[in-house]
Amino acid sequence: MALLKVDDLKIHFPIRGGILNRKIDDVRAVDGVSFEVKQGETYGLVGESGSGKTTTGKAIMGLNNITSGDIYFEGTHLNAKKGKKVDVRRDVQMIFQDPYSSLNPRKRVLDIIAEPFRNYEKMTKKEEMFKVQELLEKVGLSSDSVYKYPHEFSGGQRQRIGVARAIALKPKLIIADEPVSALDVSVQAQVLNFLQDIQKDLNLTILFIAHDLGVIKHMCNRIGIMYRGRFVEEGLRDDIFNDPQHIYTKRLVAAIPDVDPRRREEHQSFRAQVKEEYEQSFNDYFDENGLAHSLKPVTDTHKVALPERG
């Protein structure tokens, strides 16, 4: 059984206008997304800004209203009845993009990391302090940092405080929304290594949302590519990077800068070629509204949004 199952998820935001402020149209941020995340894997959700990847992540956290579709966590239906939401926030935690704005600048590290305990567990001050120090050591910060404030830490250290808070209640699933895009490469390396360690340690499942394909390739076992609220392709890392089938994925993979300057011209002409193919075959891969078709399996692991044939 999958740890997380998202089935035909739709999230539409109304556009209001006119004199009575009536709903005149919808923004279809997520428009029929289905995927499963297995226990222990790192699943990558990729797409450009506006593709709906963050909205999907937030919906799983219960931070967005769901228009239609179902989300199951360990088989429990999360959005079963109106007004009666199942609270999984204990088991599902989030790591945010910007370590500068996701930590309250007026709170001490102790209060930041202890907040989940205070919400969900009854602990004495002493137990709480012990737990927080243990977590700090786990994320590689010294345990005497408890009385410091966020501004006393570097970007990478702050991101690790965010991780400490996220793993405080021993969650089963972590949703990491662009966790390293605000960091320098060497700090990024530190946080990525660390996420891998902590995943092994705690047997975590990670839903990794990012737009940087290099980071995704490094971290994820399986990857889903989103475009305008829909999946265009889903597969194992090798499927996506070595055998991209959808023209959009091909273009995305071709756009990754090549770190070998000797292949510069070759890479540029390849990219121009893919771009041309993209423009010519856009109508074959997308429907009349410019949206992706539904996913069809190509192999056991690889699904592509190809049009119906014949």
Partner 1 sequence: MIVLSKTLLEIKNLTTSFRIGEEYYAAVDDVSLELKENEVLAIVGESGSGKSATAFSIMGLHNRAKIEGEITFKGRDIANLPPSKINKIRGKEMSMIFQDPLTALNPLMEIGRQIGEVLLLHNSEMSKAKRREYSIELLDRVGIPRPDRVVDQFPHELSGGMRQRVVIAIAIANKPELLIADEPTTALDVTIQAQILDLIRELKDDLNSGVILITHDLGVVAEMADRVAVMYAGQIVELADVESLFVNPQHPYTKSLLSSVPATEYAQDRLHVIQGIVPSLQNLPREGCRFRSRIPWMDESVHEEDPKLHEISPGHHVRCTCYQHFYFPEESKEEQTNGVT
The answer to whether 182 and 155 have CB atoms below 8 angstroms apart is yes
Q: Which of 101, 104, 142, 193 touches partner 1 (CB under 8 A)?
A: 193
Is position 211 an interface residue for partner 1 (rule: CB under 8 A)?
A: yes
Note whether 99 and 41 are within 8 A (CB): no
Q: What angle do CA 179, 182, 185 make, to 5 degrees?
A: 95
- The answer to the question of residue 145 lying near partner 1 (CB under 8 A) is no
- How does DSSP assign 73-116, residue by residue? ETTEETT-BTTB----TTTEEEE-S-TTTSS-TTS-HHHHHHHH
User: H helices then E strands: how many in the chain?
Assistant: 9, 12
- Our finding on whether 49 is near partner 1 (CB under 8 A) is yes
257 touching partner 1, by CB under 8 A = yes
Contacting residue, 89, 107, 108, 217, with partner 1 by CB under 8 A: 217
Nearer to partner 1, 37 or 183 (CB): 183
Among the listed residues 209, 275, 288, 281, the one whose alpha carbon sits nearest the alpha carbon of residue 49: 209
Q: How far is residue 84's CA from residue 67's CA, in Å, rounded to a whole number?
A: 16
Which position among 39, 251, 294, 298 is part of the footprint of partner 1 (CB under 8 A)? Answer: 251
Asked whether position 188 contacts partner 1 by CB under 8 A, the answer is yes
- 131 near partner 1, rule: CB under 8 A: no
83 or 261, CB closer to partner 1? Answer: 261
Residue 13 or 194: the one with the smaller Cβ distance to partner 1 is: 194
Among 267, 277, 291, 294, binds partner 1 (CB under 8 A): 267
Select from 29, 113, 215, 306 the one that contacts partner 1 (CB under 8 A): 215
Separation between Cα atoms, residue 39 and residue 26, nearest integer Å: 35
Q: Which pair of structure tokens corresponds to residue 69?
A: 């579709």
Total binding residues toward partner 1, as defined by CB under 8 A: 37
- Positions in the binding site for partner 1 (CB under 8 A): 48-50, 154, 156, 184-190, 192-193, 196, 211-215, 217-219, 251-252, 255-262, 264, 267-268, 271
